[in-house]
Structure 1
């Protein structure tokens, strides 16, 4: 189990982020300049409103400290390739989705370590493990930003090769995601059973609220329907694999998968149950 967490988990996330990078082009980053307003709305939802909503949910449901930290870690993790796929299925603005994913994923090496350290100290108090913000930032760079940059470079300078490996790499990323979620659940099974009711209700409520908040804010900002659908999905869909990995980076591998990873693992399952009705609505309207 220690080998899976210390070696397999970071490598798996790096492959997932490489898969994201392979699907990106330089134009996806340039597009932010020409579409500043919808991008700003999406960034506001992801970076500010999402953690605030998670904090409110944790307080409302009275979650235990470790589970509360897990909720907050999940809220700091941008959607990744999953949100891009769901935007495509929803017939939303995929270009906007990809641009948000590209930029926010790169910015996460600055935002996530600081917010994660604050959350742990706030909720766990004296029981909080020591968190090195610089160490966490370096780890985030190595397993998220660097693979994305490599993927973008491969797409830029070896487009044919990138197209060949895109689909197999995506399938591998999906398989690794499933394995990580199952391993995290198995490693905290009793805690999962004991907190399933309140944790599941909290995650589903948060997921639904975020999808609606993102949609409502986008409509209030007079964005188009397709842009609004994208903002909704980008706000409501998080990268649960990154949440699980963050938990492991913070607590180490000595005791198996950290309880801090449990909300992300459960969310990796519940988000699809929540997203499917929204996708059906988005596609048919």
Structure 2
């Protein structure tokens, strides 16, 4: 389990983020200048609305402190490759989805460490773990920002190689994601069962609310239907692997996955169940 937590988990996330980077071009970052309104509402929904909704959910369901921290960690995570695929299935604006994923993933280096430290202090109080913002920033850079940057660089300077390995990387990333989710659930199975009655409904409700909030905000500012669908999906689909990894980084446990990883692990399953009817609805319009 030590190897799984300390080596396999961060390496898996790095590979997943590298897979994301390989699928990006420099245009995906500059495209935000061509559609600033759509990007702004999408970024606002992810960076501001999402954590606020997660905090409200935690308060309403009165979740245990460590699980509450796990909820907040999940809310700080950007959308991953999954949000791009779901946006494509929903016939949304895939270019906007990719741009949001790309930029917000890089911005997470600035937002995640500080918000994580505040969350741990708020919910765990006197028993709070000693979270070093500097150490967490370095870790987030090494396992998220750097792999994305390397992937983008490879795509720019060696596009033929990037395109050749893109499909294989996507498969590897999916397999690693499944392994991580299963391992996190298995390592906390008793706690998962004890809290399932609150954890499951809370995650499902949060997911539904986020998808609707993203859609509503996009329509309020008169975005097109394709863009609105994408903002909805980017708001409601998060990188669960990063949430699990953050939980491992701040818990310091080496003998198993922290309870804080549970929300992200369960969400890694429920997000597909929740997103499915939305995708069906979005595709029909």
SS at match of 2:223: coil
- Which whole-Å deviations, capped at 9, do the CAs of 1:7-44 have from their partners, x for residues lacking one? 00000000000000000000001101111111000000
**Unaligned 5+ runs, structure 1:** none
Calculate the TM-score normalised by the size of structure 1.
0.99
| Paired residues of 1:6 and 1:253 also in contact (CA < 8 A) | no
Query: Aligned ranges for residues 80-99 of structure 1 at < 5 Å?
Result: 80-99=80-99
**What residue number does 1:256 align with?**
256
Displacement of 1:254? 2.9
**What residue number does 1:105 align with?**
105
**What residue number does 1:204 align with?**
204
How far, CA to CA, are the matches of 2:117 and 2:105 in structure 1? 18
How far, CA to CA, are the matches of 1:126 and 1:186 in structure 2? 29
**What residue number does 1:270 align with?**
270
Displacement of 1:255? 3.4
Matched residue count: 285
How far, CA to CA, are the matches of 2:200 and 2:10 in structure 1? 26
- Which whole-Å deviations, capped at 9, do the CAs of 1:37-91 have from their partners, x for residues lacking one? 1100000000000000000000000000000000000000011111000000000
How far, CA to CA, are the matches of 2:59 and 2:213 in structure 1? 18
**What residue number does 2:130 align with?**
130
Question: Are residue 282 (structure 1) and residue 273 (structure 2) matched?
Answer: no
- Which whole-Å deviations, capped at 9, do the CAs of 1:162-185 have from their partners, x for residues lacking one? 111000000000000000000000
**What residue number does 2:194 align with?**
194
**What residue number does 2:236 align with?**
236
How far, CA to CA, are the matches of 2:238 and 2:153 in structure 1? 25
How far, CA to CA, are the matches of 1:113 and 1:65 in structure 2? 19
Displacement of 1:213? 0.3
| Paired residues of 1:26 and 1:156 also in contact (CA < 8 A) | yes
Question: Are residue 2 (structure 1) and residue 30 (structure 2) matched?
Answer: no
Displacement of 1:253? 2.9
How far, CA to CA, are the matches of 2:128 and 2:9 in structure 1? 22
**What residue number does 2:59 align with?**
59
SS at match of 1:255: coil
**What residue number does 2:114 align with?**
114
- Which whole-Å deviations, capped at 9, do the CAs of 1:89-110 have from their partners, x for residues lacking one? 0000000000000000000011
Question: Are residue 77 (structure 1) and residue 83 (structure 2) matched?
Answer: no
Calculate the TM-score normalised by the size of structure 2.
0.99
- Taking only aligned residues, the RMSD between alpha carbons, in angstroms, comes to 0.5
How far, CA to CA, are the matches of 1:255 and 1:52 in structure 2? 32
